[in-house]
Structure 1
Amino acid sequence: MAEPAPQLSKAANKRGVARLAAVQALYQMDLTSARLMDVVAEFENFRLGKEVDPGESPEIYREADPQWFRAVLSGVLAEQRQIDPVIAKNLPPDWPLARIETLLRAVLRAGAWELIARKDVPAKVVINEYVDVARAFFEEDEHKLVNGVLDRIARTSRDELLAEPVSGSPQDGE
């Protein structure tokens, strides 16, 4: 009999789940105009690490780093007026920010905030994480747009210049 796979609970994995949840929360807030504290309470009380569908075979949301979730969410909201022009400047010329789908905008905002405000996290890690978030939600080439935009933002907002555009899976350690 095979043993169940061990639940990954490294800080890096918890941050990845927090990033995904933050994007979901930003999307929810954009659609419903819900208040920050209400959304944080909902996610922390009913989603992060909780059962999705109690029953015979309940699914459970993976555990997230709640401080990282709150930091990304509140950071994007506090800095959105500064982040949006940075994103817009790095989008293809024929794609104004208003044309970007709401969920994709949330991914770009969260990734841009982390690149600009959290220089303690390697740019490659941030970009890879948000490319993975985009892949989780979209079936087309949206992840390529996320990769390109965040890569350009990293090159202009970080002292460290990336040698090449990032793609693939997150680096260990974040």
Structure 2
Amino acid sequence: MSDTPPLARPGRHSMKSASRLYAVQALYQMEQSGESADTVRREFLDFRFGEEVEEGVEMAEGDARHFGLILDEAVNWQAKIDQMTDRALVAKWPIARIDPVLRALFRAAGAELGQQATPPKVVIMEYVEVAKAFYPEGREAKFVNAVLDHMAREARPEAF
């Protein structure tokens, strides 16, 4: 298997898939820096989409509209998404205690689960792939799959 980051491999992921990765990064950055969604959105659209991640390897361009939708929904519904995530986690591990990258991932995925545009199983699969980009050893991907399955069944029970 290549050492190239999964979402940087040509032809492997769609622009929407890349946008999901960017949304997780942006939500993480917003939490860590305290910057507004508009500031971070401009930075990503102007400088990060398609950036070189290592010499000669560029990230996919990304779908700016989808990226913006995820950011807006995650910010607008953060309290609701965090509550849903808390219900999917064990009682001793509320969302405030988990890794900030995973917190950003659950917020981005929760934003998409709240919409009807993408089937929940696709959202789960896509964000498991995003988790693998951040945590290549795979342990976190299994955790993400379990938490998102619980969240999806709560958010869109009719899809199961």
Task: Give the TM-score category using the shorter length.
Answer: 0.7 to 0.9
Q: Offset at 1:46?
A: 0.7
SS at match of 1:8: coil
Distance 1:140 1:59, change over 3 A: closer
- Structure 1: how far apart are the matches of 2:15 and 2:30? 22
Give the secondary structure class of the aligned counterpart of 2:92. coil
Alignment-derived partner of residue 126 in structure 1: 123
Describe the SS at the equivalent of 1:146: helix
In the other structure, the counterpart of 2:67 is 69
Gaps of 5+ in 2: 1-8
1:136 aligns with 2:133: yes
Offset of 1:51 from its aligned partner?
4.2
Q: C-alpha separation between the residues in 1 aligned to 2:49 and 2:14?
A: 13
Match of 1:150 among 122, 125, 148: 148
Aligned identity (percent) is: 41
Q: Deviations over 1:12-50 (max 9, x none)?
A: 710000000000000011000011111111111111124
Whichever residue aligns with residue 149 of structure 1, its letter is V
1:144/1:7 Cα in 2 relative to 1: closer, same or farther (>3 Å)?
closer
User: 1:37 is aligned with what amino acid?
Assistant: D
Query: How far is 1:149 from its partner?
Result: 1.0
Shift of 1:66: 0.3
Query: Hey, what does 2:95 align to over in structure 1?
Result: 97
**Runs of 4+, deviation exceeding 3 Å:** 6-9, 50-53
Tell me how far apart the structure 1 counterparts of residues 69 and 130 of structure 2 sit (CA, whole Å). Answer: 17
Is 1:111 aligned with 2:109? yes
Correspondence 1:1-174 to 2 at 5 A? 7-8=10-11, 13-51=14-52, 58-116=56-114, 118-138=115-135, 139-158=137-156, 159-161=158-160
Counterpart for residue 168 of structure 1: none
The code of the aligned residue for 2:28 comes to Y
The count of corresponding residues between Structure 1 and Structure 2 is 150
Q: CA RMSD in A?
A: 1.9
Larger radius of gyration: 1
TM-score by length of 2: 0.86
How far the C-alpha of 1:126 sits from its partner, in A, is 0.2
The gaps in structure 1 that reach 5 residues or longer are 1-5, 162-174
Structure with higher helix content: 2
Structure 1 length as normaliser, TM-score?
A: 0.79
In the other structure, the counterpart of 1:172 is none
